[in-house]
Chains A and B, each alone.
Chain A
């Protein structure tokens, strides 16, 4: 541990400037991280309520059921309207308030400037603004539960015409999205400028750690994909507030009556604009996870990442292609065979770079003597979990197989394998890996391993049966889990098993929460500045935890690539990037 006080020439900042309205990328990263973890937990709790309803439809929720109002759960029994709110808000919160802020806002903010040898982000005040705009967006989303008739009920995709004629919660959803989009745009400009401008001497693009590369591509996706959704949100807000008909066709009948609007709009327009964002958004969810896993694999196999160059090329290709696959979410809209063919071809093409990256990670394990640390366990689990999620996506990219599977539980299983056992496992790996960097203390290994095995087993317990249910044709949007459909009777018995897995998954998060807070103050201290013996600058060139201001004592100079582990003929099994 380096004594940091002697390097800190800056005057003491007040508590508020240091921890609340800070412009330091590390503090902002921590703020993002804690807020996003809160929202992940909140979104998870919404899902637990839904899972109770699916397993035991019509039964009052035990223990906490009495806490809810008569408009949501009278006597602890969930109303269908409330179920719809939970569904829409679970998706929105997990994607826009949980995973992306944690993957990009927290890890990206904290790690990227350290990995490229920069004193801070390029625009520190903008960085602070993007956190606080995100925070306000979160507050708006949460408070939408309190408006008359509750939060948004039209799904996280907010398809019109339903979303156009929804209650006030949908307006709140749109306003919340404006804040979240603005936050992401400010963040993306900042990340890109930082990586383009503030790389230290010797840090060429092809010497950047894979994690920084991933954040670079992710920021481009956020920058260019979010604005069309903003445009779409403006149009939907106009439909709702000043009675335009952008998404309302002529002669639309609602509750048996023709709606009195000018008409002439198109619900398909929303879907195009929405998926133009939301497909790149899928890669925003998964790419940072891949970056984290690559860092941890290289570090714990003590080998260079297999095919670094090829993986970077695949990553860039993937980023470009992600802008031309969006309509594979829309095969059942009847958009025509010509368009369908185009999007099926691009979808098959984009699966190639994903497979290259995943194969690169698997091949990196070949012949290594692996250190099975807790972060490494999570990173290893990511590989098959993401593999399952990716491979089950192939039938959905082809119209003939997508049409029967569309909107079934199969879809839910597929994308949850990508983002839950996939991305969230990787994010957990990242937390265990960089926790010592942030706090100077390890997280407890035994609690970490309990957390890992419980999470891995019960996540699969929740999502694996979804494939079976979906192949049997069970719809994803059923309030009672499918009780009223005869064809579903064979497979809805799994609902109870899935829900119990969910509750057990919740219990196995307790060791993590305890471990997280206990380790901040009481965890085992790191022995030196580079406890994992890593090559990248965030470990090798700066004290642990890093300097409060400016990150580095002297500007580091980079002499070599990011993963020079076990170089033949060298005494040490790793050569830091800043070692001449």
Chain B
């Protein structure tokens, strides 16, 4: 007996196994980042001033004095754009246009790398100025939360690159399931995007 509902949705739930799985996984991811955001609120409420510490001889009055808002804004644009392209990639498969799919998926992966490059520029500027996570609670939570988010971006790149590369063989044998896989990968990618959309104002702006 084969496992049912891997390709076609179960009639009474209306979804495939993979889609139930990814939504449950994302629920647990929300709890993970929810825990970190709660920690952020908890630490900030207990801090006498925020980020407000003197580090390497400078006094910083607000988060935007320490962090680069323009770079983070650029990264926000990049991630949102990549969320759009991954939807277009899925839509191309739905219309049976594999070559268009490859372009959109390739763009998504390129933009993910772009995000990481901008992020690493941000990190290295901080390190050059002696701004390490051990300097203050603000920097500590900044590095941990954006670092964990970056790990999720890397995870997304690995999945998307697999689907575009060796995983693409499935398009020939089982196009429906392959399209489902792109949809599931897309759901994950939107989640990574949404986390950043919360991180950007929380850490950089307020």
Contacts and interface: CB of A to CB of B under 8 A. Distances in A.
Interface of A: 118-120, 122-124, 185, 188-190, 192-193, 196-198, 223-232, 234-235, 238, 242-246, 261-266, 269, 272-273, 276, 549-552, 555
B42 A223 contact: no
Contact of B137 (A225, A234, A265, A551): A265
A371 to B, nearest CB: 33
Contacts of A122: 3, 17, 20-21
A541 B53 CA distance: 68
A238 B10 contact: no
Interface string B116-156: 00000000000000001111110011011000100000000
Contacts of B4: 119, 197-198
A270 to B, nearest CB: 9
A263 B46 CA distance: 12
Given A123-B21, A224-B31, A197 B43 contact: no
5 contacts: A227-B34, A232-B35, A235-B36, A244-B144, A266-B42
Nearest to B50: A264
B159 to A, nearest CB: 14
Interface stretch (B22-30, B68-76, B82-90, B168-176): B22-30
A228 B31 contact: yes
A197 B134 CA distance: 47
A231 B134 contact: no
B3 A223 contact: no
Given A197-B20, A227-B29, A246 B137 contact: yes
B32 A246 contact: no
Give the top 8 A-B pairs by smallest Cβ distance, nearest first.
A228-B35, A231-B35, A550-B1, A244-B140, A227-B32, A243-B134, A119-B1, A227-B31
Nearest to B30: A227
B10 A197 contact: yes
Interface in B1-58: 1-5, 10, 13, 15-17, 20-21, 24-25, 27-29, 31-36, 38-39, 42-43, 46-47, 53
Contacts of B42: 266, 269, 272
Contacts of B13: 196-197
A234 B144 contact: yes
A227 B10 contact: no
A223 B2 contact: no
Contacts of B137: 244-246, 262-265
A124 B3 contact: yes
A37 to B, nearest CB: 28
A231 B39 CA distance: 9
Contact of A185 (B28, B39, B143): B28
Contacts of A552: 1
Contacts of B2: 119
A244 B1 CA distance: 53
Contacts of B38: 228, 272-273
B35 A227 contact: yes
B21 to A, nearest CB: 5
Nearest to B136: A262
B21 A244 contact: no
Contacts of B16: 197
A533 B21 CA distance: 35
Given A123-B17, A193-B20, A269-B43, A231 B32 contact: yes
B25 to A, nearest CB: 5
Contact of A246 (B15, B25, B39, B135): B39
B56 to A, nearest CB: 12
Interface in B89-134: 132-134
A124 B21 CA distance: 13
Contacts of A231: 32-33, 35-36, 39
A414 B74 CA distance: 55
B134 A189 contact: no
B199 to A, nearest CB: 14
Contact of A234 (B21, B46, B148): B148
A242 B20 contact: no
B43 A265 contact: yes
B133 to A, nearest CB: 5
Contacts of B39: 231-232, 235, 246, 269, 273
B134 A119 contact: no
Nearest to A118: B3
Given A197-B17, A227-B31, A244 B24 contact: no
B3 A119 contact: yes
A269 B41 CA distance: 10
B32 A198 contact: no
Contact of B27 (A196, A224, A265, A550): A224
Among B13, B15, B144, max chain A CB count under 10 A is at: B144
Given A196-B20, A197-B13, A264-B47, A238 B140 contact: yes
A118 B17 CA distance: 13
A130 to B, nearest CB: 13
A435 B35 CA distance: 41
B43 A193 contact: no
A228 B47 CA distance: 22
A192 B133 contact: no
A223 B34 CA distance: 13
Contacts of B36: 231, 234-235
B10 to A, nearest CB: 5
Contacts of A196: 13, 20
B24 A188 contact: yes
A273 B35 contact: yes
A232 B132 CA distance: 20
A266 B46 contact: yes
Among B33, B35, B148, max chain A CB count under 10 A is at: B35
Given A193-B17, A198-B3, A266 B32 contact: no
